[in-house]
Amino acid sequence: MLKTGIIFDIIKYSIHDGPGIRTTVFFKGCPLSCLWCHNPESQSSNREIFFWEDRCIGCGDCIEVCPTGAINSAARCILCRKCVDVCCTGARETVGKTVTRDNLLAEIEKDVVFYDQSGGGVTFSGGEPLLQGDFLLDLLRCCREREIHIAVDTTGFGDTKSLLQIASHVDLFLYDLKMMDEEKHKMYTGVSNYIILKNLQELSQIHNHIIVRLPLIPKINDDENNIKRTGEYLASLKNIKKVHILPYHNTGLDKYKRLHKEYKLRETKTPSNEKITTVKKQLVDFGLQVQIGG
């Protein structure tokens, strides 16, 4: 029987998730709950319902079919999706779908010609792909057989054995590193960074192509001490040379509203060019190759 997984999106012709033109597959489910997450629909492993207020015409059909009164109180929602089925304008939309390996591979293979011409491939992102480790490994093996370049974008929070098991099938890891202080990491992401740091150290011993991604969040992880500790840590690891700084943005703000979730960083601004340049210089001083964005 084919393994199945749950995803929430597939982006074609992506140029920000690895080299060349890529297809990025977003796995649903993440063990972290970062306050700045711009894909809040990635966090839960379950299907969810988006509500697009601007599409709603107020017909009331969803209210009539909802068995729990969840239209006016999202906490009551049992995800029966009856409201989605009757909505004639698409104001209510299911987020998350179950896919088989073969169906997903067929979608990825549609763009092989673009991968070949641009040096691109497929990127498995999330959420956290490691949460669906067996399904991910199955996909990686099949993509490897088809000679498709593979990147995995990971938080690093997962089973070490599973991470090392997939490593031989992955051409490039995009590895997120939020902050060095464990207590602050718990405060802002919901989990300890112990396994994340341990896994990066283990992975760097056996894999030559790892790009560390540092989201730069004002007043959370952009302080001099955190950047210094980050630089020292990365410089101490084998095979870690490239760092991509990802400046904070709030483009996912509307998604929180659609999911009836609170966005806690409403007052946070994008870091200034001066701040970004300063952080870049700090990391370069540790012998790292640093890029803004990526």
Confidence of residue 34 (pLDDT cuts 50, 70, 90): very high
Least confident of 67-76, 86-95, 124-133, 272-281: 67-76
Confidence of residue 2 (pLDDT cuts 50, 70, 90): low
Domain with CATH 3.20.20.70 in the chain: 4-39+99-292
Q: Please list, in sequence order, all residues whose beta carbon lies within 8 angstroms of the beta carbon of residue 27, skipping any fewer than 6 positions away.
A: 5, 6, 7, 8, 42, 124, 125, 126, 127, 128, 129, 131, 132, 136
Q: What is the pLDDT of residues 248-259, one digit of tens each?
A: 999 999 999 999
In this model, does residue 1 exceed pLDDT 90?
Answer: no
User: Which pLDDT value is given to residue 68?
Assistant: 92
Residue range 4-39+99-292, CATH number? 3.20.20.70
- Which carries the bigger pLDDT value, residue 79 or residue 194? 194
Q: What is the pLDDT of residues 141-200, one digit of tens each?
A: 999 999 999 999 999 999 999 999 999 999 999 999 999 999 999 999 999 999 999 999
CATH class of the domain at 48-94: alpha beta
Domain with CATH 3.30.70.20 in the chain: 48-94
Q: What is the pLDDT of residues 21-32, one digit of tens each?
A: 999 999 999 999
pTM above 0.85, yes or no: yes
Confidence of residue 232 (pLDDT cuts 50, 70, 90): very high
